[in-house]
Chain A
């Protein structure tokens, strides 16, 4: 296994753990009582969640008028948060699908938690279009195509908002299924080591009777590959269609053809920042630093830099073409409003956080410093939230008709709702770390030997093993 890896490769897992140690270490957090740190975090997240849902209840009871929206700015925090959360989700699918197809083996330690993050982020995102309907109990009626009582009147499939319903629900479904398929063998591991009957029962039902059979593994691996193949264009399509919510319009600053790839790059950028934030905490709290190593964090920092550059390139291209087009409206939006208008502070926050800040990751020292990584991952999260805010609000608040220009001031209801989605996100993630293996046990075991310095690959005679693995020792015991 290892002899075909280049000597430049770093081992993916440090400390040379055995297979059993990996099962133990990943399952340990699920099997012990939660720590006080977990409880603190959980109670904080839960309070935020309760506050947010109270705000949503207040808004649903009183109407969308409790938000700061007005006739001119009809989309504000709601759609900003929606796009922000959907974007966060993209990193999970990128890690689980695209990096899998590109055989980036380092993904194995982080894919499970990143996929979980995807699901929770999409849930958070889905809240916003839903509550934006004002009376969401009619929602299904308006957006889902089914024979109904309005005669044969159907949803309008030419509307990007309907595309979005399909995109988001497909994305959530396929991500959930992909995640669950990945979990099956690990759930069987948890089942087989369960100490109590209840645990055994629950994980027994969830693991669907997985036996580790190689006949099943053959199908399983094929399905994993197929789902990765399906998820790759799917993840591109989701933010593409989100971008089309804006770009099919004739609104200056929204209608621009680079939106689809630019939104996708931005989504990956923000998603990786969120994965980095979460994993830096998770690996510390669960003490799995040798499974999610500095190399993993460094690789994520590199992807953040790369996607940050793409986003920066898109910002630049928009400005270049806005000037080149000679269109007064385009020129106004970019030069007179975004960069220098009343929301310029938001615009320059975005530029500093998304384009300038990630440049720090050119330095290896920065990429391997936990504190620097953590700080800049937060900065990027802030920057990407502001990107959506800038796109949505600055285009709307001053469009073609100067007499209806207006400013947008979000209310406490909107701030609390945003806080609430963070509460929901962290509550779900914290629960996840308690009940499911946060690292893909089976996949990490499969890459355990990757690039490990076996004596065989050096010039030493292979009979001399530096460290006999416990498994090998047991074989000898069994024979002795």
Chain B
């Protein structure tokens, strides 16, 4: 990363974050734990891969997306059962599918409905989960990263502190960040 280090500026009106950049996984884990322990407001950390244990260091809750999958799967199951039972089995004066005798099989053979029910459960569950991921993270085609930090998709690990947050103390923060071996410490502006 032969980039010029941005000058350290004072916070402006556009949202800015104090960012410390590191070169190893161990450093980011250590600095995050230290910053959290010092009570400084952590906005987020940025890593090139999912660092094991960083979520707990940062105090992030477990993802709620599992529930989204559950609901999606259930929806798929109900869709499949409704579709199959309606089209193959329902015959009333008001509301009918089209029950046909095929090979003498029963009109509502739940055994034969298992495969399609399973497939739609998985299909809905999977698609809704990914939809959930995109909406939880605000990812969409054409979006720019909210906070773009050079190198975090390659070999850099960064922590961003929120200068407007509670108990923010710039001097303390900078000392703490550099104590843990920061390669750069700088204010970085958020993309609009």
Residues of A within 8 A of B (CB): 1, 18-20, 23, 145, 151-160, 162-163, 166-167, 169-170, 173-174, 177-178, 181, 184-185, 188-189, 191-193, 204-206, 208-223, 226-227, 230-231, 233-234, 237, 241, 244, 441-443, 445-446, 449, 469, 471-472, 474-475, 478-479
Which residue of chain B is the closest to A184 with respect to CB atoms?
Answer: B139
> Which segment of B8-16, B33-41, B127-135 sits at the interface?
B127-135
Q: Give every chain A residue within 8 A of B98 (Cβ-Cβ).
A: 151-154
Q: Is the CB of A162 within 8 A of B116?
A: yes
Q: Is the CB of A230 within 8 A of B46?
A: no
Within 8 A of A (CB), among B8-48: 22-25, 27, 44-48
Which residue of chain A is the closest to B136 with respect to CB atoms?
Answer: A219
Bound-complex Cα distance A293 to B143 (A): 37
Interface flag for B60 (CB, 8 Å): yes
Q: Give every chain B residue within 8 A of A231 (Cβ-Cβ).
A: 126
Residues of B within 8 A of A (CB): 22-25, 27, 44-52, 54-55, 58, 60, 62-63, 65-66, 69, 73, 83-84, 87-88, 96-98, 100, 102-103, 105, 109, 112-113, 115-116, 118-120, 122-123, 125-127, 129-130, 132-134, 136-155, 158, 181-184
Bound-complex Cα distance A191 to B148 (A): 12
Q: Give every chain A residue within 8 A of B122 (Cβ-Cβ).
A: 170, 174, 230, 233-234, 237
Q: Is the CB of B155 within 8 A of A230?
A: no
Report B37 CB to chain A, min CB distance, Å: 17
Q: Is the CB of B112 within 8 A of A157?
A: yes
Q: Give every chain A residue within 8 A of B145 (Cβ-Cβ).
A: 188, 209-212
Which residue of chain B is the closest to A215 with respect to CB atoms?
Answer: B44
Q: Which one of B44, B127, B182 has the greatest number of beta carbons of chain A within 10 Å? A: B44
Q: Is the CB of A478 within 8 A of B51?
A: no
Q: Is the CB of A479 within 8 A of B46?
A: no
Report B31 CB to chain A, min CB distance, Å: 12
Q: Give every chain A residue within 8 A of B182 (Cβ-Cβ).
A: 478
Q: Is the CB of B118 within 8 A of A226?
A: no
Q: Give every chain A residue within 8 A of B113 (Cβ-Cβ).
A: 157
Contact of B116 among A157, A189, A230 (CB under 8 A): A157
Q: Is the CB of A226 within 8 A of B183?
A: no
Q: Which one of B44, B127, B145 has the greatest number of beta carbons of chain A within 10 Å? A: B145
Which residue of chain B is the closest to A22 with respect to CB atoms?
Answer: B155
Q: Give every chain A residue within 8 A of B51 (Cβ-Cβ).
A: 214, 217, 446
Report A437 CB to chain B, min CB distance, Å: 12
Q: Give every chain B residue within 8 A of A152 (Cβ-Cβ).
A: 87, 96-98
Bound-complex Cα distance A191 to B151 (A): 11
Q: Is the CB of B54 within 8 A of A163?
A: no
Q: Is the CB of B141 within 8 A of A208?
A: yes
Top 3 closest pairs, chain A to chain B, by CB: A209-B143, A211-B145, A19-B155
Q: Is the CB of B123 within 8 A of A170?
A: yes
Q: Give every chain A residue within 8 A of B130 (Cβ-Cβ).
A: 177, 181, 223, 227
Q: Is the CB of A185 within 8 A of B153?
A: yes
Q: Give every chain B residue within 8 A of A219 (Cβ-Cβ).
A: 63, 65, 133, 136-137
Bound-complex Cα distance A443 to B51 (A): 10
Q: Is the CB of A177 within 8 A of B120?
A: no
Bound-complex Cα distance A133 to B48 (A): 48
Report A205 CB to chain B, min CB distance, Å: 5
Report A14 CB to chain B, min CB distance, Å: 19
Q: Is the CB of B126 within 8 A of A154?
A: no
Contacts A173-B126, A177-B126 given; does A479 touch B44 at CB 8 Å: no
Q: Is the CB of A208 within 8 A of B134?
A: yes
Bound-complex Cα distance A61 to B113 (A): 37
Contact of A158 among B47, B105, B125 (CB under 8 A): B105
Q: Give every chain B residue within 8 A of A192 (Cβ-Cβ).
A: 150-151, 153-154
Q: Give every chain B residue within 8 A of A212 (Cβ-Cβ).
A: 46-48, 145, 149, 152-153, 158
Q: Is the CB of B125 within 8 A of A230?
A: yes
Q: Give every chain B residue within 8 A of A227 (Cβ-Cβ).
A: 126, 129-130
Bound-complex Cα distance A329 to B64 (A): 55
Q: Give every chain B residue within 8 A of A472 (Cβ-Cβ).
A: 23-24
Contacts A157-B112, A173-B126, A174-B126 given; does A474 touch B44 at CB 8 Å: no
Report A197 CB to chain B, min CB distance, Å: 14
Bound-complex Cα distance A1 to B29 (A): 12
Which residue of chain A is the closest to B99 with respect to CB atoms?
Answer: A154
Q: Is the CB of B123 within 8 A of A213?
A: no
Contacts A227-B126, A227-B129 given; does A163 touch B115 at CB 8 Å: yes
Which residue of chain A is the closest to B32 with respect to CB atoms?
Answer: A214
Report B116 CB to chain A, min CB distance, Å: 5
Q: Is the CB of B63 within 8 A of A208?
A: no
Q: List 14 A-B contacts (CB under 8 A).
A: A156-B100, A159-B102, A174-B123, A189-B154, A212-B153, A214-B58, A215-B44, A217-B55, A223-B132, A226-B66, A233-B118, A244-B115, A441-B48, A474-B23
Bound-complex Cα distance A435 to B63 (A): 32
Report B86 CB to chain A, min CB distance, Å: 9
Q: Give every chain B residue within 8 A of A157 (Cβ-Cβ).
A: 83-84, 87-88, 112-113, 116
Which residue of chain B is the closest to A19 with respect to CB atoms?
Answer: B155
